[in-house]
Amino acid sequence: MEKDIFLYNTLTRQKETFKPVDDKNVRMYVCGPTVYDRAHLGNARPVVVFDTLFRLLRHKYGQNHVTYARNITDVDDKIMARAHETGESIESLTTRTTQAYHDDMGALNALPPTIEPRATGHIAEMIALNEVLIAKGHAYVAEGHVLFHVPSMKNYGQLSRRSRDELIAGARVDVAPYKKDAADFVLWKPSAPDQPGWESPWGRGRPGWHIECSAMAGKHLGTTFDIHGGGLDLIFPHHENEIAQSCCAHDGAPLAHVWMHNGFLTINHDKMSKSLGNFFTVNDLLQKHHGEVIRLALLSAHYRQPLDFSEEKLQECKVTLEKWYSALGNCTDIENEYADLSQRHQLQVFGPAEEALCDDLNTPQAMTELNQLAAKIFKLPLGSDERKKLSHTLRYSAQFLGLLYWTIDQSKFDHLISARMQARHKKDFAKVDQLRAEIQKLGVQIEDGPKGTYSLRPFWG
């Protein structure tokens, strides 16, 4: 792919041409879930957004030249609190929740990341990082805690564009007495005997929130990597502090070149919250809507914009997908061209949607291109070469969005279709309708076109 990729960088507040450190190994880190509860819809947005970016990067740099790391935070006070409430063991809770996360994100057709490091598997790296920070004068020990000393870093606050003074002025929380500076944050904290903990040079304890990402990113992606992503709310303090830890440990080497942050989502224009009763887990939604529909809805606004979720939006996305599937081709096209979808990346048909995605992941623009493509396809004669070619492009383009991956049992389908065709010629409409119902059981809704032909679309009940 010749086209350059442009990405908006929170660090510079500008759209920049993406230039990887090593184009043989493009590296991206995205903050993953804390596994104490089912993922909610808000958790799904960064997953789908960065999955889309992952797909685009893999296309441009090669399937095996992109490393995507997304962590699992499996040690955290929220986890401890939940386990304490319910009596479930921490291990059981985190294992079960991690599995549910994989299931839910898989249902949204998010590819598994290349690496999924777990915090509890990297305690030694975190301790080592703390020791480096202490040795270099960026951290200190106080009352069993290890704290990062913010004034030790001259340019702290670059990502969020906040000065240390501003932070302190706006602080809403009491400053712990053992902190040398009000802005200092915890790298390591002591654990009570009944809390999970690991032996360390500072006694038995557990990591602070930010240190795990620095340690895991450093281990798996190297000192400096290409893209670091997450939700808008992570800019401060989480990502700011990751930068502080990693840069100071590595004598100023940048942690990541490009910082990307997705916007929040609202539900019917309200903030999603338990008190408003509009709090949905991904799994809740999957009971009512196909994952592909939810995925499209999550991509229907640009990732940096707020995204409003509603039942109407889901309905509209469902109809849109059905239209695209219908445009994809009649059964003949499916049989001849798309039987093995894993081969479709070899088609190398340039798609305009691809170009839209190269412009800072403009997914709404990509949707427009797919709509345009579908409209063109519908105007062309069924079975024509031109129509097939555009169908190729549609299928090909949609793969970048992780859409139009749906397939059918081809042999059964072909058999039923030809039987129905015959019944139709005989005008045996009772049989025709009965066969339509049978085809529907395969998950396909067929439609009769103007010339007795068929279009195909998934049937989602």
Partner RNA sequence: GGCGCGGUGGCAGAAUGGCUAUGCAGAGGACUGCAAAUCCUUGGAUGCCGGUUCGAUUCCGGCCCGUGCCUCCA
Quick check: 80 and 34 in contact, CB under 8 A?
A: no
The helix-helix angle for 90-107 and 41-61 (nearest 10°) equals 60
Quick check: 150 and 187 in contact, CB under 8 A?
A: no
Among 20, 42, 113, 196, indicate the residue that binds RNA (CB under 7 A): 42
What binding mask, one character per residue, do residues 413-452 give for RNA by CB under 7 A, x or -? -----------x----x--xx-------------xxxx--
For RNA, the closer of residues 22 and 77 by Cβ is 77
Site membership for RNA, residue 38 (CB under 7 A): no
Site membership for RNA, residue 277 (CB under 7 A): no
CB of 64 to RNA, least distance (A): 28
Quick check: 351 and 377 in contact, CB under 8 A?
A: no
Among 24, 180, 271, 389, indicate the residue that binds RNA (CB under 7 A): 271
Among 234, 373, 394, 417, indicate the residue that binds RNA (CB under 7 A): 234
User: For strand 256-262 and strand 6-9, is the pairing parallel, antiparallel, or unpaired?
Assistant: unpaired
For RNA, the closer of residues 223 and 283 by Cβ is 283
Among 23, 166, 199, 311, indicate the residue that binds RNA (CB under 7 A): 166
Among 19, 161, 425, 441, indicate the residue that binds RNA (CB under 7 A): 161
Among 2, 17, 85, 173, indicate the residue that binds RNA (CB under 7 A): 173
Among 56, 80, 227, 265, indicate the residue that binds RNA (CB under 7 A): 265
Site for RNA in 63-82 (CB under 7 A): 76-78
For RNA, the closer of residues 409 and 448 by Cβ is 448
Q: How far apart are CA 211 and CA 460, in angstroms?
A: 44
Please state, as a whole number, how many other Cβ atoms lie within 10 Å of the Cβ of residue 350: 14
Site for RNA in 325-354 (CB under 7 A): 326
Look up residue 160 and give its DSSP letter: T
Please state, as a whole number, how many other Cβ atoms lie within 10 Å of the Cβ of residue 430: 8
Query: Per DSSP, which regions of 178-299 are E strands?
Result: 185-190, 205-207, 225-231, 256-262, 265-267, 270-271
Site membership for RNA, residue 316 (CB under 7 A): yes
Site for RNA in 206-225 (CB under 7 A): 208-209
Site for RNA in 89-148 (CB under 7 A): none
Q: How far apart are CA 443 and CA 386, in angstroms?
A: 28
CA angle 217, 46, 89 (to 5 degrees): 70
CB of 300 to RNA, least distance (A): 5
